[in-house]
C-alpha cells in the first residue's frame, strides 16, 4: 500500500505523519452538532464531545475530526460564531492528546480551530487552502457538487470519475503552489452524487490515487450503505461501513473517515502490514 502515512510520536506524544508505508490511517468522526445524520445531538455538550474524542483516540484514531456544522443532505448552514463556539473548546481539549482536524467550510472557524491546536483542515468546500498555507497546517480538499441544502436533488455528471479527478487535481495543485505541504484529496462520497456516482468513484479510486496526493475516503454510515443493504438504518451499518473502508484501503486510500474507529482500525491493520499473519498462525 505504497504512499500511505504512518503515525509517529510527535511533541507531547501527539501523532504526526510521515510517508513511511504501514497501513491506512483512521480518522474518527466527532460531530459537535444537533443535527448530523448519524449522531447529531449526542455530542453537542462540550464535555460529552471531549469524552468521545478521547474515546476515539483511545481506540487508536490517528486523527479526530471535529465539526460544528452538519453537512448532511438537506442541512441548513449555521453562523460562524455558533460553529466556532461549538468546536474551539473541544479542539483545545483534545489537541494535547491526539491529532485534531477541523471539519469546516469557514475560514474564521478554521483559523480559530488552528489557534486552538488543530493541524489539519478538512474542507468540504475545497476552498480553504489559503488558510492552511498561512498557518502551515495540512488541508483536505473534498469534492462536492452544490451545497448541502440542495446537493442531492439532481446531481448530474457527464463523467463523474473524470470530473471529480480533474477538480481535485486542480485544487491540490493550487494548494501546493500556495505553499501547503500536506495535501489530501477526498472524492466526497454522498456529496452531490447518486448511488451510481458513488459506486463509480469507489471502483475508480486508483485513478484518484494516481493524482499523486494521499486520498481520504468517507463512507461511514452514509445513505448509500443503507441503499446497498436493503434499507439498514444508520445505527445498523457497521458491517457495511467497515467493508467499504476495506475496499478503499485495498485500492490505495491513505486514510478513511469513520464513526467506528476500533473495528476499522482492526481491519486496517489486517489489510496493511501492522500484523504478521505468519506469526499469528
Q: For residue 198, what are the CA distances in angstroms to 128, 160, 173?
A: 24, 9, 24
Compute and round to an integer the Cα radius of gyration of the chain.
17
Residue 86 a catalytic site member: no
What grid cell was written down for 249?
484501503
Domains annotated on the chain, with CATH: 18-280 (3.20.20.20)
Residue pLDDT, tens place only, 177-186:
999 999 999 9
Phi, then psi, of 64 in degrees rounded to 5: -110, 125
Contact 51, 17 (CB under 8 A): no
pLDDT of 167 strictly over 70: yes
Mean pLDDT across 172-177 = 98
Enter the pTM of the model: 0.86
* Catalytic member of 86, 99, 165, 222: 222
CA–CA dist 146, 54 (Å, integer)? 34
Is residue 32 helix, strand or coil?
coil
Closest CA to 135 of 96, 109, 98, 154: 109
CA–CA dist 69, 52 (Å, integer)? 17
**Residues recorded for the chain:** 281
pLDDT of 88 strictly over 90: yes
Largest distance between two CA atoms of the chain:
55
**Which of 23-27, 154-158, 176-180, 272-276 is predicted with the least confidence, judged by mean pLDDT?**
272-276
Q: Which residues pair with 123 in a beta bridge?
A: 141
Which pLDDT score is estimated for 9? Answer: 37
pLDDT band with cut points at 50, 70 and 90 for residue 40: low
Is residue 142 helix, strand or coil?
strand
Name, in order, each residue with C-beta under 8 angstroms of 106's C-beta and a sequence gap of 6 or more. 69, 80, 83
Residue 257 a catalytic site member: yes
Closest CA to 155 of 166, 143, 167: 143
CA–CA dist 177, 154 (Å, integer)? 34
Mean pLDDT across 190-196 = 91
Q: For residue 261, what are the CA distances in angstroms to 64, 96, 196, 241, 264?
A: 10, 19, 27, 11, 5
Contact 248, 271 (CB under 8 A): no
Mean pLDDT of the chain: 87
Question: What proportion of the chain, given as a percentage, has pLDDT over 70?
Answer: 86
Amino acid at each position: 500500500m505504497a504512499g500511505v502515512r504512518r503515525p509517529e510520536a510527535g511533541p507531547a506524544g501527539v501523532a504526526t505523519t510521515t510517508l513511511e508505508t504501514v497501513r491506512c490511517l483512521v480518522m474518527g468522526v466527532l460531530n459537535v452538532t444537533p443535527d448530523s445524520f448519524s449522531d447529531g445531538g449526542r455530542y453537542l455538550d462540550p464535555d460529552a464531545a471531549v469524552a468521545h474524542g478521547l474515546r476515539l483516540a483511545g481506540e487508536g484514531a490517528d486523527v479526530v475530526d471535529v465539526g460544528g456544522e452538519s453537512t448532511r443532505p438537506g442541512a441548513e448552514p449555521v453562523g460562524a460564531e455558533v460553529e466556532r463556539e461549538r468546536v474551539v473548546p473541544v479542539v483545545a481539549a483534545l489537541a494535547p492528546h491526539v491529532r485534531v482536524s477541523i471539519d469546516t467550510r469557514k475560514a474564521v472557524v478554521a483559523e480559530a480551530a488552528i489557534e486552538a491546536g488543530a493541524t489539519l483542515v478538512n474542507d468540504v468546500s475545497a476552498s480553504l487552502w489559503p488558510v492552511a498555507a498561512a498557518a502551515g497546517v495540512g488541508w483536505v480538499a473534498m469534492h462536492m457538487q452544490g451545497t448541502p441544502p440542495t446537493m442531492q436533488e439532481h446531481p448530474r455528471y457527464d463523467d463523474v470519475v473524470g470530473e471529480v479527478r480533474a477538480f481535485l487535481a486542480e485544487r491540490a495543485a493550487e494548494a501546493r503552489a500556495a505553499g501547503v505541504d500536506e495535501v489530501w484529496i477526498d472524492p466526497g462520497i454522498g456529496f452531490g452524487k447518486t448511488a451510481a456516482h458513488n459506486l463509480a468513484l469507489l471502483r475508480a479510486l486508483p485513478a484518484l490515487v494516481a493524482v499523486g496526493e494521499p486520498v481520504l475516503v468517507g463512507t461511514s454510515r452514509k445513505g448509500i450503505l443503507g441503499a446497498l443493504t436493503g434499507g439498514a438504518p444508520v445505527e445498523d451499518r457497521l458491517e457495511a461501513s467497515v467493508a467499504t473502508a476495506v475496499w478503499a484501503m485495498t485500492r490505495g486510500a491513505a486514510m478513511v473517515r469513520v464513526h467506528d474507529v476500533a473495528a476499522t482500525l482492526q481491519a486496517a491493520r489486517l489489510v496493511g502490514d501492522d500484523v504478521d499473519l505468519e506469526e499469528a498462525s
